[in-house]
Amino acid sequence: MSEFLASRYAHMTPYVPGEQPRDRTYIKLNANEATVPPCPGVQEALADPAMVAGLCRYADPRCLPLRKAVAERFGMTPEEVFVGNGSDEVLAIIFMTFLQPGDRLAFPDVTYGLYHDYASTFGLTYEEIPLRADWSLDVEAFAASTAHVVFPNPNAPTGLRISHEDVARIAAAHPERLVIIDEAYVDFGTTTCAQMVREHRNLIVVQTMSKSRNLAGAHIGYAFAQEDLVTDMRNVKFSFNPFNVSAPTMAIGIAALADEGFFASYTASVCQERAATEEALRALGCTVTTSHTNFVFATHPCISAEEWQAKLREAGILVRRFAGPRTGNWLRVSVGTHEEMQAFLDESKRILC
Protein backbone atom coordinates (compact mmCIF):
# COMPACT_ATOMS: atom_id res chain seq x y z
CA MET A 1 0.00 0.00 0.00
CA SER A 2 1.12 3.55 -0.64
CA GLU A 3 1.88 6.16 1.99
CA PHE A 4 -1.24 8.05 0.85
CA LEU A 5 -3.75 5.29 1.63
CA ALA A 6 -6.25 6.46 4.25
CA SER A 7 -5.53 4.84 7.61
CA ARG A 8 -9.11 3.61 7.91
CA TYR A 9 -8.31 1.12 5.13
CA ALA A 10 -5.19 -0.29 6.77
CA HIS A 11 -6.88 -3.60 7.52
CA MET A 12 -8.83 -3.80 4.27
CA THR A 13 -8.97 -7.26 2.68
CA PRO A 14 -9.95 -6.92 -1.00
CA TYR A 15 -12.37 -9.48 -2.38
CA VAL A 16 -10.92 -12.03 -4.80
CA PRO A 17 -13.38 -12.86 -7.63
CA GLY A 18 -13.41 -16.13 -9.50
CA GLU A 19 -10.71 -16.23 -12.16
CA GLN A 20 -11.52 -14.83 -15.59
CA PRO A 21 -8.74 -16.30 -17.78
CA ARG A 22 -8.35 -15.40 -21.44
CA ASP A 23 -5.59 -17.83 -22.45
CA ARG A 24 -7.98 -20.36 -24.03
CA THR A 25 -11.63 -21.29 -24.35
CA TYR A 26 -13.04 -22.73 -21.12
CA ILE A 27 -16.30 -24.21 -19.95
CA LYS A 28 -16.72 -21.59 -17.26
CA LEU A 29 -18.51 -22.94 -14.19
CA ASN A 30 -16.66 -20.95 -11.53
CA ALA A 31 -18.52 -17.65 -11.08
CA ASN A 32 -22.25 -18.56 -10.83
CA GLU A 33 -22.97 -16.66 -14.02
CA ALA A 34 -25.62 -17.65 -16.53
CA THR A 35 -24.03 -19.36 -19.51
CA VAL A 36 -26.79 -18.35 -21.96
CA PRO A 37 -27.61 -14.81 -23.16
CA PRO A 38 -30.44 -12.77 -21.62
CA CYS A 39 -33.94 -12.59 -23.06
CA PRO A 40 -34.51 -11.18 -26.58
CA GLY A 41 -35.98 -7.99 -25.16
CA VAL A 42 -32.60 -7.04 -23.74
CA GLN A 43 -31.05 -7.12 -27.21
CA GLU A 44 -33.92 -5.01 -28.54
CA ALA A 45 -33.43 -2.46 -25.77
CA LEU A 46 -29.73 -2.17 -26.56
CA ALA A 47 -30.52 -1.62 -30.26
CA ASP A 48 -33.17 1.05 -29.67
CA PRO A 49 -32.10 4.23 -31.57
CA ALA A 50 -33.84 6.43 -29.00
CA MET A 51 -31.75 4.93 -26.21
CA VAL A 52 -28.57 5.49 -28.21
CA ALA A 53 -29.54 9.07 -29.02
CA GLY A 54 -30.20 9.71 -25.33
CA LEU A 55 -26.68 8.81 -24.27
CA CYS A 56 -25.66 12.45 -24.51
CA ARG A 57 -27.89 13.15 -21.50
CA TYR A 58 -27.59 12.06 -17.89
CA ALA A 59 -29.84 9.20 -16.85
CA ASP A 60 -32.53 9.72 -14.22
CA PRO A 61 -30.56 9.80 -10.94
CA ARG A 62 -33.66 8.61 -9.07
CA CYS A 63 -33.69 5.50 -11.32
CA LEU A 64 -37.46 5.82 -11.29
CA PRO A 65 -38.24 3.79 -14.46
CA LEU A 66 -36.33 0.77 -13.12
CA ARG A 67 -37.66 1.21 -9.58
CA LYS A 68 -41.20 1.20 -10.96
CA ALA A 69 -40.54 -1.97 -12.95
CA VAL A 70 -39.02 -3.75 -9.94
CA ALA A 71 -41.85 -2.58 -7.68
CA GLU A 72 -44.50 -3.82 -10.10
CA ARG A 73 -42.80 -7.20 -10.44
CA PHE A 74 -42.72 -7.75 -6.65
CA GLY A 75 -45.97 -6.09 -5.56
CA MET A 76 -44.16 -3.21 -3.86
CA THR A 77 -44.17 0.57 -4.30
CA PRO A 78 -41.30 2.43 -5.97
CA GLU A 79 -40.69 4.18 -2.65
CA GLU A 80 -39.84 0.77 -1.12
CA VAL A 81 -37.23 0.01 -3.81
CA PHE A 82 -33.60 1.12 -4.03
CA VAL A 83 -31.57 0.24 -7.13
CA GLY A 84 -27.83 0.26 -7.70
CA ASN A 85 -24.92 -0.79 -9.85
CA GLY A 86 -25.12 -4.43 -8.81
CA SER A 87 -26.12 -5.94 -5.48
CA ASP A 88 -22.57 -5.49 -4.17
CA GLU A 89 -22.92 -1.73 -4.51
CA VAL A 90 -26.39 -1.91 -2.94
CA LEU A 91 -24.89 -3.78 0.03
CA ALA A 92 -22.09 -1.21 0.29
CA ILE A 93 -24.60 1.65 0.37
CA ILE A 94 -26.60 -0.16 3.06
CA PHE A 95 -23.42 -0.49 5.12
CA MET A 96 -22.46 3.16 4.56
CA THR A 97 -25.95 4.39 5.39
CA PHE A 98 -26.75 2.46 8.54
CA LEU A 99 -23.53 1.06 10.06
CA GLN A 100 -20.82 3.07 11.78
CA PRO A 101 -17.18 2.17 12.55
CA GLY A 102 -17.14 -0.06 15.60
CA ASP A 103 -20.66 -1.42 15.05
CA ARG A 104 -21.00 -5.19 15.35
CA LEU A 105 -21.95 -7.35 12.39
CA ALA A 106 -22.74 -11.08 12.37
CA PHE A 107 -22.61 -13.40 9.36
CA PRO A 108 -21.99 -17.14 8.86
CA ASP A 109 -18.45 -18.49 9.01
CA VAL A 110 -19.01 -20.03 5.57
CA THR A 111 -20.71 -17.53 3.27
CA TYR A 112 -20.14 -14.85 0.63
CA GLY A 113 -16.63 -13.53 1.25
CA LEU A 114 -17.48 -9.89 0.54
CA TYR A 115 -19.26 -9.54 3.89
CA HIS A 116 -15.97 -10.07 5.68
CA ASP A 117 -14.25 -7.63 3.32
CA TYR A 118 -16.93 -4.98 3.80
CA ALA A 119 -16.68 -5.36 7.57
CA SER A 120 -12.95 -4.69 7.36
CA THR A 121 -13.32 -1.82 4.88
CA PHE A 122 -16.00 -0.04 6.89
CA GLY A 123 -14.31 -0.57 10.26
CA LEU A 124 -16.92 -2.91 11.73
CA THR A 125 -16.42 -5.45 14.48
CA TYR A 126 -17.66 -8.75 13.14
CA GLU A 127 -18.54 -12.17 14.48
CA GLU A 128 -18.66 -15.28 12.32
CA ILE A 129 -21.42 -17.60 13.51
CA PRO A 130 -20.52 -21.19 12.56
CA LEU A 131 -22.84 -23.13 10.32
CA ARG A 132 -23.98 -26.42 11.78
CA ALA A 133 -22.17 -29.63 10.86
CA ASP A 134 -24.69 -30.24 8.06
CA TRP A 135 -23.95 -26.74 6.63
CA SER A 136 -27.33 -25.36 7.75
CA LEU A 137 -27.67 -21.88 9.22
CA ASP A 138 -27.83 -21.74 13.02
CA VAL A 139 -31.05 -19.76 13.28
CA GLU A 140 -31.03 -19.82 17.09
CA ALA A 141 -27.55 -18.27 17.22
CA PHE A 142 -28.47 -15.49 14.80
CA ALA A 143 -31.66 -14.79 16.74
CA ALA A 144 -29.67 -14.61 19.98
CA SER A 145 -26.98 -12.28 18.62
CA THR A 146 -27.52 -8.55 19.17
CA ALA A 147 -25.23 -7.63 16.27
CA HIS A 148 -26.48 -6.47 12.90
CA VAL A 149 -26.94 -9.47 10.61
CA VAL A 150 -26.21 -10.22 6.96
CA PHE A 151 -26.39 -13.54 5.13
CA PRO A 152 -27.54 -14.95 1.79
CA ASN A 153 -30.72 -16.97 1.58
CA PRO A 154 -30.01 -19.45 0.06
CA ASN A 155 -26.47 -19.38 1.42
CA ALA A 156 -23.34 -19.56 -0.71
CA PRO A 157 -21.38 -21.69 -1.31
CA THR A 158 -23.48 -24.31 0.50
CA GLY A 159 -26.72 -23.76 -1.46
CA LEU A 160 -28.93 -24.27 1.61
CA ARG A 161 -31.85 -22.05 2.62
CA ILE A 162 -33.95 -21.14 5.64
CA SER A 163 -37.70 -20.53 5.77
CA HIS A 164 -39.58 -17.25 5.91
CA GLU A 165 -40.51 -18.17 9.47
CA ASP A 166 -36.83 -18.41 10.40
CA VAL A 167 -36.09 -15.05 8.75
CA ALA A 168 -38.98 -13.50 10.70
CA ARG A 169 -37.68 -15.03 13.92
CA ILE A 170 -34.23 -13.51 13.41
CA ALA A 171 -35.67 -10.11 12.49
CA ALA A 172 -38.12 -10.05 15.39
CA ALA A 173 -35.61 -11.15 18.03
CA HIS A 174 -33.89 -7.73 18.20
CA PRO A 175 -35.85 -5.06 16.29
CA GLU A 176 -33.16 -2.46 17.06
CA ARG A 177 -30.58 -4.13 14.78
CA LEU A 178 -30.62 -4.52 10.99
CA VAL A 179 -31.17 -7.88 9.31
CA ILE A 180 -29.97 -7.87 5.70
CA ILE A 181 -31.04 -10.85 3.57
CA ASP A 182 -29.06 -11.29 0.36
CA GLU A 183 -31.34 -13.08 -2.12
CA ALA A 184 -28.88 -13.40 -5.01
CA TYR A 185 -30.01 -17.00 -5.63
CA VAL A 186 -33.63 -16.80 -4.55
CA ASP A 187 -35.11 -17.60 -7.96
CA PHE A 188 -33.71 -21.13 -8.14
CA GLY A 189 -36.03 -22.80 -5.65
CA THR A 190 -36.91 -20.29 -2.92
CA THR A 191 -39.48 -17.52 -2.54
CA THR A 192 -38.53 -13.94 -1.75
CA CYS A 193 -38.90 -12.26 1.62
CA ALA A 194 -39.39 -8.87 -0.09
CA GLN A 195 -42.86 -8.14 1.24
CA MET A 196 -41.79 -9.07 4.77
CA VAL A 197 -40.05 -5.68 5.02
CA ARG A 198 -43.50 -4.21 5.65
CA GLU A 199 -43.86 -6.33 8.80
CA HIS A 200 -40.27 -5.95 10.02
CA ARG A 201 -38.91 -2.41 10.08
CA ASN A 202 -35.33 -3.63 10.52
CA LEU A 203 -35.39 -5.99 7.53
CA ILE A 204 -33.70 -5.17 4.20
CA VAL A 205 -33.89 -7.64 1.30
CA VAL A 206 -31.32 -7.41 -1.52
CA GLN A 207 -31.52 -9.01 -4.97
CA THR A 208 -29.56 -9.02 -8.22
CA MET A 209 -30.22 -9.57 -11.93
CA SER A 210 -26.82 -11.22 -12.38
CA LYS A 211 -28.01 -14.79 -11.84
CA SER A 212 -31.60 -15.57 -12.82
CA ARG A 213 -31.95 -12.66 -15.26
CA ASN A 214 -28.71 -13.55 -17.13
CA LEU A 215 -27.23 -10.06 -16.64
CA ALA A 216 -23.98 -10.51 -14.69
CA GLY A 217 -22.23 -8.14 -17.11
CA ALA A 218 -24.81 -5.39 -16.58
CA HIS A 219 -24.55 -5.03 -12.77
CA ILE A 220 -28.12 -4.42 -11.68
CA GLY A 221 -29.06 -4.81 -8.03
CA TYR A 222 -31.91 -3.62 -5.87
CA ALA A 223 -33.13 -3.65 -2.29
CA PHE A 224 -36.50 -3.64 -0.58
CA ALA A 225 -37.03 -1.80 2.70
CA GLN A 226 -39.49 0.56 4.37
CA GLU A 227 -39.78 3.90 2.63
CA ASP A 228 -37.75 6.06 5.02
CA LEU A 229 -34.87 3.56 4.98
CA VAL A 230 -34.84 3.70 1.19
CA THR A 231 -34.86 7.50 1.39
CA ASP A 232 -31.82 7.38 3.69
CA MET A 233 -29.99 5.12 1.23
CA ARG A 234 -30.87 7.35 -1.72
CA ASN A 235 -29.63 10.44 0.15
CA VAL A 236 -26.32 8.74 0.88
CA LYS A 237 -26.04 7.69 -2.78
CA PHE A 238 -26.71 11.29 -3.87
CA SER A 239 -23.89 12.40 -1.58
CA PHE A 240 -21.22 10.58 -3.57
CA ASN A 241 -22.57 9.02 -6.81
CA PRO A 242 -25.97 10.35 -7.94
CA PHE A 243 -25.81 8.78 -11.41
CA ASN A 244 -24.88 5.26 -10.35
CA VAL A 245 -27.10 3.43 -12.88
CA SER A 246 -26.81 4.25 -16.58
CA ALA A 247 -29.73 4.64 -19.00
CA PRO A 248 -28.77 1.49 -20.99
CA THR A 249 -28.53 -0.47 -17.76
CA MET A 250 -31.99 0.63 -16.69
CA ALA A 251 -33.40 -0.15 -20.16
CA ILE A 252 -32.11 -3.71 -20.23
CA GLY A 253 -33.16 -4.29 -16.61
CA ILE A 254 -36.70 -3.24 -17.44
CA ALA A 255 -36.67 -5.46 -20.53
CA ALA A 256 -35.45 -8.45 -18.53
CA LEU A 257 -38.19 -8.01 -15.94
CA ALA A 258 -40.83 -7.85 -18.66
CA ASP A 259 -40.14 -11.32 -20.09
CA GLU A 260 -41.54 -13.67 -17.46
CA GLY A 261 -41.72 -16.55 -19.92
CA PHE A 262 -37.98 -16.50 -20.60
CA PHE A 263 -37.26 -16.11 -16.88
CA ALA A 264 -39.46 -19.08 -15.93
CA SER A 265 -38.01 -21.27 -18.66
CA TYR A 266 -34.41 -20.43 -17.80
CA THR A 267 -34.72 -20.91 -14.04
CA ALA A 268 -36.60 -24.20 -14.54
CA SER A 269 -33.84 -25.48 -16.83
CA VAL A 270 -31.19 -24.60 -14.25
CA CYS A 271 -33.09 -26.42 -11.51
CA GLN A 272 -33.46 -29.47 -13.75
CA GLU A 273 -29.74 -29.55 -14.63
CA ARG A 274 -28.81 -28.95 -11.00
CA ALA A 275 -30.84 -31.94 -9.81
CA ALA A 276 -29.41 -34.19 -12.53
CA THR A 277 -25.86 -33.06 -11.70
CA GLU A 278 -26.33 -33.71 -7.98
CA GLU A 279 -27.69 -37.17 -8.70
CA ALA A 280 -24.80 -38.00 -11.05
CA LEU A 281 -22.19 -36.76 -8.56
CA ARG A 282 -23.70 -38.86 -5.78
CA ALA A 283 -23.50 -41.88 -8.11
CA LEU A 284 -19.78 -41.15 -8.44
CA GLY A 285 -19.38 -41.34 -4.65
CA CYS A 286 -19.55 -37.61 -3.91
CA THR A 287 -21.19 -35.96 -0.94
CA VAL A 288 -23.38 -33.14 -2.30
CA THR A 289 -25.57 -30.63 -0.49
CA THR A 290 -29.16 -30.20 -1.66
CA SER A 291 -28.80 -26.87 -3.43
CA HIS A 292 -31.47 -24.22 -3.98
CA THR A 293 -29.18 -22.08 -6.13
CA ASN A 294 -27.58 -22.12 -9.59
CA PHE A 295 -24.59 -24.15 -8.36
CA VAL A 296 -23.78 -27.44 -6.64
CA PHE A 297 -21.41 -27.96 -3.71
CA ALA A 298 -19.60 -31.28 -3.65
CA THR A 299 -16.69 -33.26 -2.20
CA HIS A 300 -15.25 -36.72 -2.86
CA PRO A 301 -13.58 -38.98 -0.26
CA CYS A 302 -10.85 -40.29 -2.59
CA ILE A 303 -9.45 -37.09 -4.09
CA SER A 304 -8.71 -33.63 -2.79
CA ALA A 305 -10.81 -30.81 -4.16
CA GLU A 306 -7.61 -29.03 -5.13
CA GLU A 307 -6.54 -31.94 -7.36
CA TRP A 308 -10.03 -32.38 -8.77
CA GLN A 309 -10.17 -28.67 -9.64
CA ALA A 310 -6.70 -28.72 -11.20
CA LYS A 311 -7.49 -31.71 -13.41
CA LEU A 312 -10.74 -30.13 -14.54
CA ARG A 313 -8.85 -26.96 -15.43
CA GLU A 314 -6.38 -28.95 -17.49
CA ALA A 315 -9.39 -30.26 -19.41
CA GLY A 316 -10.70 -26.73 -19.96
CA ILE A 317 -13.36 -26.69 -17.24
CA LEU A 318 -13.27 -24.02 -14.53
CA VAL A 319 -14.85 -24.57 -11.10
CA ARG A 320 -14.26 -22.82 -7.77
CA ARG A 321 -12.67 -23.95 -4.53
CA PHE A 322 -12.59 -21.85 -1.36
CA ALA A 323 -9.56 -22.32 0.86
CA GLY A 324 -10.35 -22.84 4.53
CA PRO A 325 -10.63 -25.56 7.15
CA ARG A 326 -14.27 -26.33 6.34
CA THR A 327 -14.50 -25.57 2.63
CA GLY A 328 -11.04 -26.41 1.31
CA ASN A 329 -11.99 -29.92 0.23
CA TRP A 330 -15.23 -28.92 -1.51
CA LEU A 331 -15.88 -27.63 -5.01
CA ARG A 332 -18.57 -25.17 -6.02
CA VAL A 333 -19.74 -25.83 -9.58
CA SER A 334 -22.03 -23.38 -11.38
CA VAL A 335 -24.88 -24.92 -13.34
CA GLY A 336 -24.50 -24.32 -17.06
CA THR A 337 -26.22 -25.75 -20.10
CA HIS A 338 -26.92 -29.48 -20.46
CA GLU A 339 -23.89 -29.83 -22.73
CA GLU A 340 -21.61 -27.99 -20.30
CA MET A 341 -22.77 -30.05 -17.32
CA GLN A 342 -22.37 -33.28 -19.29
CA ALA A 343 -18.79 -32.29 -20.13
CA PHE A 344 -18.14 -31.58 -16.45
CA LEU A 345 -19.62 -34.91 -15.39
CA ASP A 346 -17.79 -36.89 -18.10
CA GLU A 347 -14.46 -35.37 -17.07
CA SER A 348 -15.20 -35.81 -13.37
CA LYS A 349 -16.03 -39.48 -13.96
CA ARG A 350 -12.67 -39.92 -15.66
CA ILE A 351 -10.91 -38.16 -12.76
CA LEU A 352 -12.78 -39.80 -9.89
CA CYS A 353 -13.06 -43.39 -11.12
DSSP annotation string for 166-195: HHHHHHHH-TTS-EEEE-TTGGGT----GG
Inter-helix orientation angle 305-314/338-352, to 10° = 120
Beta bridge partners of 84: 221
Whether the predicted pLDDT of 13 surpasses 90:
no
- Asked if the model's pLDDT at residue 22 lies above 90, the reply is no
- pLDDT of the residue at 12: 84
**Among 305, 289, 295, 291, residue whose Cα is nearest residue 351:** 305
- For residue 15, pLDDT over 90 is answered with no
Q: DSSP state, 156?
A: T
Q: Chain-wide mean pLDDT for the chain? A: 96
The sheet carrying 320-321 orders its strands as: 287-288, 295-299, 331-334, 320-321
Residue 18 confidence (pLDDT) above 90: no
pLDDT tens by residue, 84-115: 999 999 999 999 999 999 999 999 999 999 99
The strand pair at 203-208 and 179-182 is best described as: parallel
**Residue 340 scores a pLDDT above 90:** yes
Amino acid at 285: G
pLDDT on residue 64: 97
In angstroms, the CA 247 to CA 244 distance is 10
CATH number assigned to the domain covering 40-258: 3.40.640.10
Query: Domains of the chain: which residue ranges?
Result: 16-37+261-352, 40-258
What is the average pLDDT across 304-311? Answer: 98
Q: Which of 7-11, 38-42, 169-173, 339-343 has the lowest mean pLDDT?
A: 7-11
Is the CATH code 1.10.150.20 the one for domain 16-37+261-352?
A: no
- The pLDDT score that the predictor gives to residue 19 is 83
Q: Assess whether pLDDT exceeds 90 at residue 71.
A: yes
Secondary structure element (H or E) that encloses residue 49, with its range = helix 49-53
Sign of torsion over alpha carbons 140, 96, 30, 305: negative
40-258 has the same fold as 16-37+261-352: no
Lowest mean pLDDT among 19-23, 72-76, 216-220, 332-336: 19-23
Residue 21: band (very low, low, confident or very high) from pLDDT cuts 50, 70, 90: confident
Q: pLDDT for 213-256, tens place per residue?
A: 999 999 999 999 999 999 999 999 999 999 999 999 999 999 99
| pLDDT mean over 4-10 | 88
pLDDT for 290: 97
**pLDDT of 232:** 98
Residue 24 has pLDDT above 90, yes or no: no
**Residues 66, 245 contacting (CB under 8 angstroms):** yes
